[in-house]
């Protein structure tokens, strides 16, 4: 029954009671029985009480509804209204129940979606920035925090320029917003290079207006530069002996071969250049094998370990004869109790050979030292010379392929320019490291840290 019907029935009952009372009073007055008007007082009081109680009940229900509406407006939906009756107010109460449950479900889904998006963004290595229509930051992921050293709380509701002030980036965003197309820019920033994509969301109801994706391509560009330099250096290193060989062969074909002395001299040059060409190719193949196939476990585990003394004994005849030809002294200090090193004997011999040959090549007088000592977790192998030394600015690059400090001098001395690169890859492939210290005119020391073990099973 609705409220209007209830009020109508109450009014009819109260009015009927009044008419009945007046009828009784008039009837009994005619028969001589007197009923005073005092009977109206309890009737009025009774009627007023009924109306008051019913009005109070309605007021409390209205207050409850008003309170719940206020909670909904403020975003609080965790409540339950129990409908008292199936009247108009009961219908309103039931609708509020449904509205609260619906909004609560929407908020729950939005939170789940936000958590899902945040989880996805935090799991990708590219940095992501969401901007609103005013160009202020709404959200950044963990990759952006790592790239720029700023967290979400510091950047929220701040303009993008507070994070990254760059005129080209501003123009890129303006162009993307104007054309409503995805745009791309390569952005240098503090010795790093970022590839930036800008996408525009053309939806009026969305808070997010544009999405910026940052990818750190510093290492990629460095590798591309090294690849370009490598190709150029390989081409040059291969063309130099080939050009020499071609020139002398053509000269011999043209008739210079008729002179035995000239022919022999030219053939020796051709042989020398051929050996140089073979050396370059052999070193390139060795470097390729080392890079693509790092040390793996052998069925015979003892082959993965070696003594420095045994590795040196393999190359000793070559090194001593080379040093004697240049009048240099070789001083070797390898303790007898030196532990095993975690590198095969063949690879360790190649490391020692390359480093000691380099030391002899660039030393005119004095001596070459091979000194070994045991650390807590590694064996330290030092190879030092009294040669010309390496400039400070070149020491960081000497392990690059084909890099030469003095190209003219290196070409006269010989070598492929790959020896130190091979050494570095072998040592790092075994879990060790190598460093260099040098002074111009004083000499150079290479220090290798090789992981060691006390026992070999």
- pLDDT, one tens digit per residue, over 370-385 is 999 988 888 999 999 9
Q: For residue 44, what pLDDT is reported?
A: 62
Residue 1 has pLDDT above 60, yes or no: no
**Average per-residue pLDDT for the chain:** 78
State the Cα–Cα distance between residues 46 and 162, nearest whole angstrom: 74
Q: For residue 406, what pLDDT is reported?
A: 65
Name the architecture of domain 124-216.
Answer: 2-Layer Sandwich (3.30)
Q: What is the mean predicted confidence (pLDDT) over 244-262?
A: 82
Confidence of residue 333 (pLDDT cuts 50, 70, 90): very high
Q: For residue 434, what pLDDT is reported?
A: 92
Q: For residue 299, what pLDDT is reported?
A: 42
For the stretch 192-225, pLDDT in tens is: 888 888 888 776 656 667 888 888 888 888 888 8
Q: Are strands 443-453 and 340-341 parallel, antiparallel or unpaired?
A: antiparallel
Q: For residue 410, what pLDDT is reported?
A: 52
3-state secondary structure of 403: coil
Q: Please state whether 250 falls in left (phi above 0), alpha (psi between -120 and 50) or beta.
A: alpha
Residue 448 has pLDDT above 90, yes or no: yes
Q: What is the mean predicted confidence (pLDDT) over 275-303?
A: 66
**Token pair recorded at residue 275:** 């050996």
State the Cα–Cα distance between residues 83 and 89, nearest whole angstrom: 8
State the Cα–Cα distance between residues 450 and 60, nearest whole angstrom: 85
State the Cα–Cα distance between residues 363 and 446, nearest whole angstrom: 14
Please report, rounded to a whole number, the percentage of residues in the chain having pLDDT higher than 70.
Answer: 76
Q: What is the mean predicted confidence (pLDDT) over 176-192?
A: 82
Lowest mean pLDDT among 150-159, 253-262, 301-310: 301-310
Residue 47 has pLDDT above 50, yes or no: yes
Domain layout of the chain by residue ranges? 3-102, 124-216, 223-291, 300-453
> In this structure, what is the dihedral angle of CA atoms 219, 225, 227, 228, given to the nearest 10 degrees?
160
Residue 301 has pLDDT above 50, yes or no: no
Lowest mean pLDDT among 113-117, 201-205, 269-273, 412-416: 412-416
The larger pLDDT score, comparing residue 154 to residue 412, is at: 154
Confidence of residue 43 (pLDDT cuts 50, 70, 90): low
Q: For residue 454, what pLDDT is reported?
A: 61
Please report, rounded to a whole number, the percentage of residues in the chain having pLDDT higher than 90.
Answer: 8
The CATH class that applies to domain 223-291 reads: mainly alpha
Q: What is the pTM of this model?
A: 0.51
Residue 420 CA from chain centroid, whole number: 31
For the stretch 381-398, pLDDT in tens is: 999 999 888 888 888 888
The CATH class that applies to domain 300-453 reads: alpha beta
The larger pLDDT score, comparing residue 437 to residue 189, is at: 437
Q: For residue 275, what pLDDT is reported?
A: 82
Q: For residue 293, what pLDDT is reported?
A: 62
């Amino acid at each position: 029954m609705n409220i209007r019907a209830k009020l109508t029935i109450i009014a009819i009952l109260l009015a009927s009671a009044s008419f009945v009372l007046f009828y009784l009073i008039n009837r009994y007055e005619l028969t001589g029985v007197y009923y005073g008007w005092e009977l109206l007082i309890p009737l009025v009081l009774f009627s007023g009480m009924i109306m008051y109680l019913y009005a109070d009940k309605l007021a409390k229900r209205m207050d409850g509804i008003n309170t719940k509406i206020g909670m909904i407006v403020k975003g609080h939906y965790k409540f339950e209204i129990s409908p008292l009756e199936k009247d108009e107010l009961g219908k309103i109460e039931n609708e509020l129940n449904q509205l609260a449950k619906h909004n609560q479900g929407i908020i729950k889904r939005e939170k789940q979606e936000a958590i899902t998006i945040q989880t996805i963004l935090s799991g990708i290595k590219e940095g992501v920035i969401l901007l609103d229509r005013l160009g202020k930051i709404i959200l950044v992921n963990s990759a952006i925090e790592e790239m720029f050293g700023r967290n979400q709380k510091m950047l929220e509701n701040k303009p993008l320029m507070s994070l990254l002030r760059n005129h080209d980036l501003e123009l890129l965003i303006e162009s993307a917003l104007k054309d409503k197309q995805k745009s791309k820019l390569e952005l240098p920033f503090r010795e790093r290079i970022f590839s930036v994509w800008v996408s525009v969301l053309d939806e009026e109801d969305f808070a997010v207006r544009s999405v910026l994706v940052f990818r750190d391509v510093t290492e990629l560009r460095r590798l591309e530069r090294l690849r370009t330099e490598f190709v150029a250096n390989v081409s040059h290193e291969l063309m130099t002996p080939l050009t020499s060989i071609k020139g002398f062969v053509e000269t011999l074909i043209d008739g210079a071969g008729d002179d035995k002395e000239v022919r022999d001299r030219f053939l020796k040059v051709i042989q020398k250049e051929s050996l140089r060409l073979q050396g370059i190719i052999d070193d390139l193949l060795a470097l390729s094998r080392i890079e693509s196939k790092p040390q793996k476990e052998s069925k015979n585990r003892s082959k993965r370990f070696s003594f420095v003394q045994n590795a040196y004994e393999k190359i000793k005849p070559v090194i001593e004869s080379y040093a004697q030809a240049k009048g240099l002294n070789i001083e070797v200090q390898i303790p007898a109790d030196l532990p095993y090193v975690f590198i095969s004997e063949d690879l360790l011999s190649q490391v020692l050979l390359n480093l000691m040959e380099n030391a002899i090549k660039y030393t005119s007088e004095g001596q070459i030292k091979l000194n070994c000592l045991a650390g807590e977790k590694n064996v330290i192998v030092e190879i030092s010379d009294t040669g010309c030394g390496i400039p400070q600015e070149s020491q960081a690059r000497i392990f690059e392929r084909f890099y030469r400090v003095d190209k003219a001098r290196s070409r006269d001395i010989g070598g492929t320019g790959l020896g130190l690169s091979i050494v570095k890859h072998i040592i790092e492939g075994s879990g060790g490291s190598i460093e260099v210290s040098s002074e111009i005119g004083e000499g150079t020391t290479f220090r290798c840290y090789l992981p060691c073990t006390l026992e070999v099973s």
